[in-house]
Amino acid sequence: MENKLDAMSLMNDQMKAVLKKSAELAGDAFVTDVGFDQMRANYVKERAFWNEGGPVMAKTEDVVFDGPKGEFTARFYYPVECEKLPVIEFIHGGGFVVGSPDTHDRVCRILADRTGAAVVSVDYHLSPESKYPANIQECAIVAKYLHEHGAERGIDGDDLSFAGDSGGAVLSMATNLWLRDEEGDNSFVKSLLLYYGFYGLVDSVSRRLYGWDIDGMRKEDLDYYNQCWLNDLTAESSAPYVDMLSNDLKTGMAPCYIAAAALDPLRDDSECLARVLTHNGVDNSFEVFDGVLHAFVHYSRMLDAATECIEHSSEFWKTRRA
C-alpha cells in the first residue's frame, strides 16, 4: 500500500492552473504505457504552448555532430552578436525517452537572455534506441568540440558550463564526471546548473511521499525510464555515472546550483547532492521551490517559480563560475 500525500492540497494555485492547462493541451502527456511514438507525440503537443513567446535571439543555428549512434545535432543560441561568448551546454530532460531542443526552446532562450552566454542545446539520441552511456558520450563530444573549436563559432571554449532539467540534470553531472574520468580533462567546466535531477538514491523520504499520475513521476514511471535507458538495470544502477553520489564529488568539481521541486519524488536526490558537495568543500547553492511539481521550469508563462529558478541559476552562473 502506498501512503502518498495529497498533491492537490500541497500545490500552490499557479501550479494547479498549470496542471489544468496541460490537461487541456494533452491530457495524457505524461503516461508511459502508450508506446514510444505516442509518448513523444504527446510530449511535443503539450510542450508547444509553453515554448511560445519569450526572449528573441540574435542568432540560432543547428550544428551536426557525429557520435556513437551516428549523426545528432545541437542548437546554438546567441543572445547577442559578439566575437566571443561564454557558453552553457544545455541538456534537456524527458526521462531519456522524450524531449528535444524544440521542447526546451523557451528555457534555453531565457537562460541565454539572463546570462548573456551562448546556449548550446544537445539533441542526443533518445532511449531505448540509444542506451547508456551513449547519450553521455554525445554530450561529452559537444563539450569537447566547444572547448577545442568554440572560437570558430564565437564561443570561449575555456568558459563552459552545463545546465539541464530532470534527465538533463543527470546527464549534465554525468558528462562533467565523464570528461574528468574518461577524457582526462574537465578543467574548462566552470559551473553546473542542475534542475531537479536524480543522482543515485533508490529510495528516500521524498520518493515515498510524492509522485503521482498527474506528473508522471510514480515509482513505476521512474523504473520505466531507467529500464529504457540502462542496458542492465541491476548492474548499471550502481555505475559511476548513474549512482553519482557514490562517485568522487570532490576532485575537479565546479560550483553547482541545485534546484529542487518541493513536491518531487527526486527532491531528496538534490538535497543529498548538496550536502555531499558542502561536506567536500565544493561551492554550491541548493534551493527548494515550494508548492510545485517536477518539471516546473517549463511553465514560465504561468508559474513564477519557473522564472525565479532560471533567474536564480543565472545569477549563480554570473558570480560563481570563475
SS3 state at 289: strand
Given 105, 159, 165, 264, the catalytic residue: 264
Contact yes or no for 80/114 (Cβ under 8 A): no
Q: Which entry of 191, 294, 300, 314 is annotated as an active-site residue?
A: 294
Distance CA 166, CA 314 (A): 18
102: annotated active-site residue: no
Contact assessment for residue 170 and residue 197, using Cβ atoms and an 8 Å cutoff: yes
Alpha helices in the chain (DSSP H): 7-10, 13-26, 36-50, 105-115, 134-149, 167-181, 205-209, 219-229, 233-236, 267-279, 304-320
Residue 149 known to be catalytic? no
Q: Which of 127, 166, 285, 300 is catalytic?
A: 166
Angstrom distances, CA of residue 122 to CA of 77, 99, 103, 148: 11, 11, 12, 17
87, 155 in Cβ contact below 8 A? yes
Active site residue 123: no
Give catalytic residue positions: 166, 264, 294
